Structure 1
Amino acid sequence: MNVEEIMTPNPERVYVTDTISDAITKLFEMDVRHLPVVNENDELLGMLSDRDLRSFSLPFSTGVDSSDAENQRSAAPVSDVMQGDVISVGTDAELSEVIALMIDHKVGAIPVVDSLEGGLVGIVSYIDVLRLAEDEFSF
């Protein structure tokens, strides 16, 4: 099975210049766990997960930072906390390859880029894989 068959097309994303506050808001509003980070040409630059943002915001919840410092930190660009060494696949990738990458690298989502132009076109998450498995195993 090809990744294009189960990916979520045109996924929510953040731009490398968006603020951490913007990304947190988008994650909660969209109820997603992963956001690809792109530039103005939709080229994939990294990934941002709810885990990245939880570790970033931990000092907020412990009361270590003052209000001004919290505002400064949340106004920082997502590039400060994103994972820059991101694994991605092309639209022609086999689903088995994507699952193997998720397991090997212990990631919950893999961005899908256009095989010819390189722009972000989709994302495959563990939820997409589980939905497929549910359909396959339902009797």
Structure 2
Amino acid sequence: MPIRPEHRHFYPIDWAELSEVIRFEVAGGQCQQCGAPHGASIVRLGDGRWFDLAGGIWRDGRGRPAAPGAAIRCEAVKVTRIVLATAHKRHDTSRNSRSDLAAWCQRCHLEHDRPEHLRRRRLTYLRRYALGDLFLGAYPVA
């Protein structure tokens, strides 16, 4: 995931090299949460299950073999290209040791960051309402 320009100063200068070490040397090119391989196109279901071509089995969102016989809805099936990203486990960009970083696929990274994204979205909405009140007056009550 690209780093926003306004957040770039929170990351170390050698972030690209550090990220590559975490993703490919430490994690071995696989998501450390679900085990999905970097660069592969996989079939993923809406509930997080994915088909492991190497093993020939379905895996759940944590990489374990999925329970056999679970229903598969065709509209929830997607083919996804896996791209690993280095994530901060504790959302603290000043902590960059190997124990504080993890290599996760897009889905696992978004799941981990969901509370932080919801918090930022709420602040964005509040900021927009405040600017609207400041320049346009109070909102009409519907």
Give the shorter-chain TM-score range: under 0.3
Larger Rg: 2
| TM-score calculated relative to the size of structure 1 | 0.24
Per the normalisation by structure 2, the TM-score is 0.23
Higher relative contact order structure (alpha carbons within 8 Å, sequence separation ≥ 6): 1
Richer in strand (by share): 1
More helix by share: 1
